[in-house]
């Protein structure tokens, strides 16, 4: 029932969105002398003339920005599988916009008109002559079948809302989903990633597997002469330590290459997909940062972006600098027009957590407001991977 209600609301929204088009065409046709019977009961000519304008405006990028979150949130089912990152086709988006507003206006109009008629039909046997003065002639013409007609009319309204909602839910991924070009590009990226991962897997097997074999041989030899040749045992243990360090370095390198994207860059892309304007600049290779430091750097960047989005206003600027012995992260955004909250002035738990993360690695964080902007600057020292 909740899904039916959300889809019904989606159709009512479509009916509301078409009203500016109807109003505009009503004004235009009134200027030319056309007869118009009002907004809630427009002339069919006015309504028909508004539909081409609806289709044309559907090509605007803002229409996709409106339809995507609305369809994902209200239609449910297949519509939830729509990828917001896919650009899609403007023509297909315009077609969905037209269908949404056209069918939505029909269901919205029925939602306004049918319930009062149902009440009059169902209650007409009880009201008798009392309701005759306000009862339309077509209700009186139904005779004793008025209550059944009311039930049928209510079922028609519910059936229309359910049917149109299911239709829009099925059309949404087809018309708002990725275009064939998007699918081909995604498939190509997946193929390239799989090829790179297979190559890295082979390299990992050849290098780390060989090192582990050497470690096993050295450990076995050291165990056999542990009591009789201590000098050889110490030498073997030294070789094992060196081989283990080399294997760890190789493993860190391969795991860094297996990342789909640099971590901070991935956060920036996620923020942009949510509609936030983020200007990012990365100076240096983030993959050279050791995994523990890279993880904390990502968490600090996430907290900084979240605070900038929640408490400030755009655009948000992010600058990451990676050098041989340290990485610095700077995030800035304009302060809101109203005075900052107590939580923001005092730093809040998030800022305290950011400082603790940096301190755990020997780094530092500076944050505060200056000249109408909120600025966070974090420095993370590290020992570069061998």
Q: What's the CATH code of the domain at 203? A: 1.20.5
Q: Dump pLDDT digits (tens) for 52-69.
A: 999 999 999 899 888 988
Confidence of residue 31 (pLDDT cuts 50, 70, 90): very low
Q: Quick one: 33 and 166 in the same domain?
A: yes
348 and 316: one domain?
yes
Q: Do residue 228 and residue 276 come from a single domain?
A: no
The mean pLDDT of 159-177, rounded to a whole number, is 91
pLDDT confidence of residue 98: 95
Q: Given pLDDT bands bounded at 50, 70 and 90, which one contains residue 289?
A: confident
Domain co-membership, 59 together with 101: yes
Domain boundaries, position 101? 2-176
User: How many domains are contained in the chain?
Assistant: 3
Domain identity same for 171 and 188: no
User: Quick check: is 344 in a domain?
Assistant: yes
- My answer on whether 246 and 283 are in the same domain is no
- The Cα angle at residue 373 between residues 371 and 374, in degrees rounded to 5: 125
Together in a domain, 24 and 146: yes
Q: Is residue 386 part of a domain?
A: no
Task: Point out the least confidently predicted range of 190-194, 254-258, 300-304.
Answer: 254-258
- The CATH number that applies at residue 328 is 3.30.565.10
Query: pLDDT per residue over 317-345, tens digit each?
Result: 999 999 888 899 999 988 876 655 544 44
> Helices 61-74 & 2-31, crossing angle to 10 degrees?
150
One domain, residues 23 and 133: yes
Same domain membership, residue 207 and residue 72: no
Q: Is 234 found in the same domain as 119? A: no
Regarding pTM above 0.75, the answer is no
Q: Are residues 64 and 210 in the same domain?
A: no
Distance CA 170, CA 176 (A): 10
pLDDT tens digits for 171-195? 998 888 877 777 777 777 777 767 7
Boundary-marking domain end, from 125, 143, 176:
176
Q: What percent of the chain has pLDDT over 90?
A: 23
Do 22 and 163 fall into the same domain?
yes
Q: Mean of the per-residue pLDDT values for the chain?
A: 79
Would you state the pLDDT for residue 36?
A: 44
């Amino acid at each position: 029932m909740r899904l039916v209600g959300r889809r019904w609301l989606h159709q009512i929204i479509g009916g509301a969105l078409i009203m500016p088009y109807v109003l505009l065409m009503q004004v235009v046709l009134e200027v030319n002398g056309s007869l118009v019977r009002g907004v809630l009961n427009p002339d069919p000519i006015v309504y028909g003339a508004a539909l081409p304008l609806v289709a044309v405006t559907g090509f605007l990028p803002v229409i996709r920005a409106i339809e995507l979150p609305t369809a994902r949130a209200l239609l449910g089912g297949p519509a939830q599988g729509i990828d917001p990152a896919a650009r899609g086709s403007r023509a297909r988006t315009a077609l969905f916009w037209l269908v949404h507003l056209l069918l939505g206006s029909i269901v919205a109009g029925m939602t306004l008109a049918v319930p009062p008629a149902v009440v009059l039909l169902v209650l007409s046997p009880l009201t008798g002559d009392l309701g005759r003065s306000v009862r339309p002639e077509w209700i009186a013409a139904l005779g004793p079948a008025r209550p059944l007609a009311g039930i049928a009319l209510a079922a028609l309204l519910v059936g229309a809302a359910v049917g149109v909602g299911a239709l829009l839910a099925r059309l949404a991924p087809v018309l708002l989903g990725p275009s064939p070009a998007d699918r081909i590009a995604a498939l190509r990226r997946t193929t390239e990633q799989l090829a790179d991962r297979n190559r890295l897997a082979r390299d990992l097997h050849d290098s780390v597997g060989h090192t582990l074999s050497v470690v096993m041989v050295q450990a076995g030899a050291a165990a056999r002469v542990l009591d009789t040749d201590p000098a050889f045992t110490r030498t073997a243990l030294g070789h094992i330590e060196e081989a283990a360090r080399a294997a760890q370095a190789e493993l860190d390198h391969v795991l860094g290459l297996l990342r789909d994207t640099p971590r901070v860059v991935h956060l920036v892309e996620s923020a942009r997909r949510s509609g936030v304007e983020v200007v990012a600049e990365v100076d240096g290779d983030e993959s050279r940062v050791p995994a523990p430091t890279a993880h904390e750097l990502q968490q600090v960047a996430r907290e900084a972006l979240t605070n900038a989005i929640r408490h400030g206003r755009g655009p948000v600027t992010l600058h990451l600098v990676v050098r041989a012995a340290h990485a610095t992260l700077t995030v800035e955004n304009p302060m809101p027009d109203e005075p900052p909250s107590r939580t923001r002035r005092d730093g809040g738990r998030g800022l305290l957590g950011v400082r603790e993360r940096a301190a755990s690695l020997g780094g530092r964080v500076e944050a505060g407001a200056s000249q109408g902007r909120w600025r966070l600057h974090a420095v993370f020292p590290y020992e570069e991977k061998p």
